Copies of this chain bind each other. A is one copy, B any other.
Amino acid sequence: MIILKEKIESLDKLYRTNFINSLSGFKSANLVGTISKEGKTNLAIFNSLIHVGANPPALGFLMRPVSVERHTYNNIKETGYFTVNHINKEIYKQAHQTSARYDKDVSEFDECTLTPQYTEAVKAPYVKESKIKIGCRFVEEQEIKFNGTIFIVGEIMEVIIPDDVVAKDGYVDIEKAGTIAISCLDSYHDTKRITRLSYAKPGSEPKEIWNVD
């Protein structure tokens, strides 16, 4: 079927939310950990986190600085730090539960039975149960004028990762680490690698790369 903008605007709100949220494809599944200047921890699930650059290393994610995401935003602005923690198969239900509208004084770590973990380099709590963890320093925010969302950029200061998921060429086997994917707002997906493909060049077909160890 073909659905035009006018039809989309006339859809029931919940239907439209599910439908439009499905259209970008698969999404990353991460928990963003922060702490307020008073020392209250916060944890929130985000499915909009993307790669921003490798040199200097940076990540970014889109947020609505209202509702449940406001605590994350305020903490990042107060302390200048946040952590990114991959959601794996063992913790996806707890991760999902962080999206409930808890009061500012309540820590999602406690309510969702996840464990804060700290390092010297980063002023924000990691999630101990996550296997791949990235500590970031807040460097920039850009408001999307079209709808008031904010793209937050963090420079990667620290990476905590199991030795056995990093291949010789730097490729990280996130599947082996149990990292999952999200679609729509509430759908969680396991993955199975089809293959890696070699660097594309005009005039030659990409080859499959199997040596990911």
Contact = CB atoms under 8 A, between A and B. Distances in A.
Interface of A: 1-5, 8-9, 11-30, 47-60, 62, 84, 86, 89, 92-93, 96-102, 106, 111, 119, 121, 132, 134, 139-140, 142-147, 149, 151, 153, 155-163, 166-167, 169-172, 174-175, 179-181, 183-184, 186-202, 205-206, 209, 212
A9 to B, nearest CB: 7
Contacts of A194: 89, 92, 180, 188-190
Interface of chain A: mostly helix, strand, loop or mixed:
mixed
**A-B complex: 4 closest residue pairs judged by Cβ atoms:** A25-B28, A22-B172, A18-B170, A15-B170
B159 A23 contact: yes
Nearest to A162: B1
A167 B201 CA distance: 40
A144 B150 CA distance: 12
B1 A163 contact: yes
